Structure 1
Amino acid sequence: MATRGYKTLFFDLDHTLWDFHTNSTAVLKEIFTETELHRKGLDFEEFYTVYNRVNDQKWALYREGKIDKYRLRKERFADTLAHFQITEVHLGDYFENQYVERSPRQTALMPGALEALEYLHERYVLAIITNGFTSVQMIKLKSSGLDKYFREIVTSEMAGANKPEAKIFVTALKNTKTRREEAIMIGDHPEADIAGARNVGMDQVWYNPFGHKSDVMPTYEIQHLLALTTIL
């Protein structure tokens, strides 16, 4: 059991509570089928692998402040399609528009998410800290039924800073009237969530369901969200 006097639990959203992989895959398969990319000789699994690589690269640049929201959205599908020598601008735009519209409305959650939140929300103040875009993340929370558990939502757009920058964590602490020693950050990303929180003096729980390796040393590490009920 944790011995610290925590008051507020900050959660990441994507890959931590909301099952980004399952939800994203389902929507991309729909759009891939609709646009008949198989007729151009594309295989969905290969397309999905390339898209994930490109998207991860774009998000890394976004976190570092090297590209903005507009460029991220404009380029991720265009660059993916260009990898396969498909340069039709309208096709990239269609993928982006449909993906942003449909993806947040998917409802798959990480295993144990609801059970853990049911236990925790009666004992702590719960809040979200996410690098996702505000409008998109709000739809995810409402569509999946997660919104009722959280008293405060802080996005990178609201804070004017991306995790792991200190500003977004400080904004969340201020908004919830929480001292950093009373807070703990729960997330899947060792740099954005864990190192970011540690650098502002907050404890951290690294949610690491796939057993990834990292040089970042968290306060706690778990592989299932229900394990939160044993340490908090």
Structure 2
Amino acid sequence: MRASGYKTVFFDLDHTLWDFKTNSQKVLKELFTETGLYRKGLDFQEFYQVYNQINDQKWTLYRQGRIDKFRLRKERFVDTLLHFSIDERQLGEYFESQYVERSPLQTALMPGALEVLDYLFEKYQLAIITNGFASVQMTKLKSTGLEKYFTTVITSEMAGANKPEAKIFVAALKQTATKRPEAVMIGDHIDADVVGAKNAGIDQIWYNQEEIVSDCKPTYQIRELTEIIELL
């Protein structure tokens, strides 16, 4: 059944349109090799797994407002190295600076992203709602050529609130001159994107790539982005 009545489609960026996993892993492998961590007996896959766990923990704290972006960036690589008993803060800071510089320039997108955006662009106003840092997210949009599709980009820094707080969704509605029944939010994160939009009174499309089971029931659920073409 095709949905109707929407005027604006809000998208999350990382893991929804921009292939965070592929892009991040590529840059981290480059840095791992360049800094010679393998000479310290480290295995890249183990390093990558530990980093992801620590990074996810930091981002959860950031979404909850318990740490700021400066602490997130300052700690995630230092803590990863400490896990392997490498107490080299300067090396951690180098990883951070290079990662933040290089990763937004990567261009891998989620399967079907361009096809879906080409389709939606002719029918809806498109906007981004992201917890990612403004300068980084804008670079990603420019590097991939995605910026042409979006009239508005709302970041947590701009709104003064992180998803899933209702405040960031309300800011997005205001900036796009959209009423709640006229909007739908598409994202991969059940709490940040789905619960957040639901609490703000906005319909949701959960891009549930890994078929995660949740008690939260979104308005719609898809596993492939291209399903959006049949839905909207």
Calculate the TM-score normalised by the size of structure 1.
0.99
Counterpart for residue 124 of structure 2: 124
Counterpart for residue 182 of structure 1: 182
Cα distance in 1, alignment partners of residues 210 and 145 from structure 2: 25
Unpaired runs of at least 5, structure 1: none
- SS of 1:173's equivalent in the other structure is helix
Cα distance in 2, alignment partners of residues 118 and 143 from structure 1: 17
Counterpart for residue 111 of structure 2: 111
Counterpart for residue 166 of structure 1: 166
Calculate the TM-score normalised by the size of structure 2.
0.99
- SS of 1:225's equivalent in the other structure is coil
Cα distance in 2, alignment partners of residues 231 and 213 from structure 1: 21
Aligned length in residues: 232
Please state how far the C-alpha of 1:2 moved relative to its aligned partner: 3.0
Counterpart for residue 74 of structure 1: 74
- SS of 2:226's equivalent in the other structure is helix
CA RMSD of aligned residues (A): 0.6
Please state how far the C-alpha of 1:3 moved relative to its aligned partner: 3.7
Aligned residue runs from structure 1 range 15-94, under 5 A? 15-94=15-94
Name the amino acid aligned to 1:201.
Answer: G
Name the amino acid aligned to 1:153.
Answer: V
Cα distance in 2, alignment partners of residues 89 and 155 from structure 1: 29
Counterpart for residue 229 of structure 1: 229
Aligned residue runs from structure 1 range 123-142, under 5 A? 123-142=123-142
Please state how far the C-alpha of 1:210 moved relative to its aligned partner: 1.6
- SS of 1:184's equivalent in the other structure is strand
Q: What do the CA deviations read for 1:84-142 (whole angstroms, capped 9, x no partner)? A: 00011110000000000000000000000000000001000000000000000000000
Cα distance in 1, alignment partners of residues 72 and 92 from structure 2: 12
Please state how far the C-alpha of 1:4 moved relative to its aligned partner: 3.2
Counterpart for residue 101 of structure 1: 101
Q: What do the CA deviations read for 1:22-76 (whole angstroms, capped 9, x no partner)? A: 0000000000000000111100000000000000000000000000010000000
Cα distance in 2, alignment partners of residues 96 and 178 from structure 1: 37
Name the amino acid aligned to 1:221.
Answer: Q
Please state how far the C-alpha of 1:213 moved relative to its aligned partner: 1.5
Please state how far the C-alpha of 1:217 moved relative to its aligned partner: 0.7
Name the amino acid aligned to 1:56.
Answer: D
Aligned residue runs from structure 1 range 209-228, under 5 A? 209-228=209-228
Cα distance in 1, alignment partners of residues 61 and 2 from structure 2: 36
